[in-house]
Amino acid sequence: MSYAIVEFTGSNWNIQRYPHTYGGVGLETATAPTDFTAVNSVSQTFLHTQHSSGTDVGLDTQGEEAWLSDVDEISFDLEDTATFGGVVTVVWIIENTQTLGVPINVQHLSGTISGGPYVSNNPFAIPIPTNVRSVSESSIMGENGRTSGGGTAYPRGAIAFQITADDTVTGYRGDEGNVQNYRLSIVEFPQATACAGGNSDNIAINEWTINCVKFDYFEPGIVNQGESPEILTKLEYPLFTNGEVTVFVSTNNGVSTSQTTTIS
């Protein structure tokens, strides 16, 4: 087993936790503002789900579907034959509100797979509606699912997903004996924004911003007439693809200009 500890920091990240206790089987909902605070956009929010099945060990009680069905609603679907007493689903609602630069982009996918021969690890393809910009910059989040059948024929019911191309997710089932329903989100993480900066106090290129960070090449407050040095190299301050460098130039009489260049 392997695991990762991920920390989302910064003012653009909003994270909420909601534990849902089932009152029955089938479709149930949690709504804002009673259960959680509404998010701004479904396409900028994903879930991380955790499932506790109580004392029942049957396949149909070992999972659920949980998804963000609207900005103010989360839906939960427990298998109709499940034993719902003691079953709890905890959802972490993870939202990024950045609008400038390259915002987060979340695509929500779902599907049903028919039961069939008892074959394990038989891959199947799930198309991604809009191609991701890069497989290496995208992740699968919020994956969950439910399966039919009350027996204990494990690993039946287990399912895993992998982004294998910019337009394809590949799924892998532990066993194809039962019908399975699944949910997952394709997350393309945000990139830093370009920010407006201040002016220098002389005719010199002595102030600039790189990916929202302002620099002053010279000692602050010193007048450096006409200087135009090399600013930074990628080794000194790495730049991501499509990052922006902005140079500000101004004069003491208030005339100023700036130039922004996108890094390819």
Query: What single letter denotes the amino acid at residue 15?
Result: I
- The neighbour count for residue 73, using CB atoms within 10 Å, is 16
156-79-169 Cα angle (round to 5): 55
Q: Which residue has the tokens 């194809």?
A: 176
Mean pLDDT of 65-76: 97
Task: Give strand pairing partners of 226.
Answer: none
Alpha carbon distance 230, 248 (integer Å): 14
Sign of CA dihedral 239, 242, 134, 43: positive
Q: For 94-148, how does the pLDDT look when each residue is reduced to its tens digit (9 = 90+)? A: 999 998 888 999 999 999 988 766 666 678 999 999 999 999 999 999 999 999 9
116-127-49 Cα angle (round to 5): 75
pLDDT bin (cut points 50, 70, 90) of residue 228 is: very low
Residue 191 DSSP code: B
Domain boundaries, the chain: 13-188, 208-262
Q: Specify the range with the lowest mean pLDDT, choosing from 4-13, 52-61, 239-248.
A: 239-248
Report the pLDDT value the prediction gives residue 254, as an integer from 0 to 100.
60
